[in-house]
Amino acid sequence: QLQLQESGPGLVKPSETLSLTCTVSGGSISSSNYYWGWIRQPPGKGLEWIGSFFYSGNTYYNPSLKSRVTISVDTSKNQFSLKLVSMTAADTAVYYCARQGRASGHWFDYWGQGTLVTVSS
């Protein structure tokens, strides 16, 4: 059974950089059939796609966040990471990692449990 697990700090100071890691078990992030992505959800609000990557190195970012986001991958650890710079209170959210279909369709079928990140001094 595929499982994803986010890890990282729960509290980040304004202007600092958020670094989160998603560890995947029960499947390989090097699969040619899937993208792997990050989605966030501010408290009490809806879902926002942050970005996705394909194991070969292609990355895709939401233009609204593109200037501040980097997604990287460590295939040896079956992990991928999110880096978001210049954090503000508006970035306070639950951050999810998820598997995303590739050729078949770009829906998100497996999600991590999510990690709440609060931006506060």
Partner 1 sequence: DIQMTQSPSSLSASVGDRVTITCRASQGISNYLAWYQQKPGKVPKLLIYAASTLQSGVPSRFSGSGSGTDFSLTISSLQPEDVATYYCQQYNNGPWTFGQGTKVEIK
User: Footprint of partner 1 on this chain (CB under 8 A)?
Assistant: 46-49, 60-64, 96, 101, 105-109, 111-114
Distance CA 59, CA 71 (A): 7
The least CB distance from residue 15 to partner 1, in Å, is 25
One-letter amino acid at 96 equals Y
Q: Which residues contact 79 (CB under 8 A, 6 or more apart)?
A: 21, 22, 23, 24, 29, 73
Q: Least CB distance from residue 17 to partner 1, whole Å?
A: 22
Residue 76 or 90 with smaller CB distance to partner 1: 90
Structure tokens at 74: 């460590």
Residue 83 CB, shortest distance to partner 1, in Å, is 18
Nearest approach in angstroms of CB 13 to partner 1 is 27
Of 16 and 23, the one with the shorter C-beta distance to partner 1 is: 23
3-state SS of 2-40? CEEEEECCCEECCCCCEEEEEEEECCCCCCCCEEEEEEE
Nearer to partner 1, 46 or 57 (CB): 46
Closer residue to partner 1 (CB): 21 or 106: 106
